[in-house]
Amino acid sequence: MAQFVATGLRKAGHWVELASDGEAGLTLARGKAYDLALVDRMLPKLDGLTLVKTLRAEGLEIPILFLTTMSGIRDRVDGLEAGADDYLIKPFAMAELIARVSALSRRTKRVGAEIQTQLKAGDIELDTLTQSVSRAGQRVELQPQEYRILEYLARNAGKVVTRSMLLQNVWQLHFDPQTNIVESHMSRLRAKLDRGFDTAAIQTIRGEGYILRAD
């Protein structure tokens, strides 16, 4: 179900990251500024209701939409009272989910929340609306997959991004295809970013992954 939802939202133009359980979701929500969270009520390790209550207790105002089979009136009331902004019952139509996501996004924008469309890491800047990239003011032309790799690195600037993280979040592969797909795309991306510069924008941490310089 999570993969189905993620695929549908990506096709609609949204950037999506998945958490396999409630604890992982809590870690993600604490670590980044997201525009929206979709939360299942029945999550392993930390249930969705506790997850939402924890986020609200910590002062995180991210819009939250519950996706769940728990359709009773008391279930809905509990979800909304925990701090959720909307509640959608399974099974649901993807078109309705996308419409609700768009409505929550518009509502957030109306109340003054800033939606991030500019990403900056060191001297590299990305415009997520036009998918344009520049380094130190010089435009860098990238292929779509190269841009997606760079955007993911930029959203995790200063942190190690592993090969498996790239496979999962850029290619939506949850297994290793046993090819050099990541390395070949990364090589082309680095060549384009570093052309005319003395320092490498993306560092390789041997045995771990890659880091996009944040400073």
Q: Which pLDDT score is estimated for 144?
A: 84
Question: What is the tens place of the pLDDT at every residue in 196-211?
Answer: 999 999 999 988 899 9
* pLDDT for res 113: 42
CATH (residue range 118-212): 1.10.10.10
pLDDT on residue 197 = 94
Q: Do the beta carbons of residue 47 and residue 71 sit within 8 Å? A: no
Each residue's pLDDT tens digit, 128-174: 878 899 999 999 999 888 998 999 999 889 999 999 889 887 886 76
CATH for the stretch 2-110: 3.40.50.2300
pLDDT at 114 over 60: no
Pairing type for strands 124-127 and 118-121 reads antiparallel
Q: Name the residue ranges covered by the structural domains of the chain.
A: 2-110, 118-212
pLDDT one-digit tens code per residue, 55-88: 888 888 788 899 888 878 888 888 888 888 888 8
Mean of the pLDDT values across residues 104-122?
66
Q: What average pLDDT does the structure give for the chain?
A: 86
CB 72 within 8 A of CB 79: no
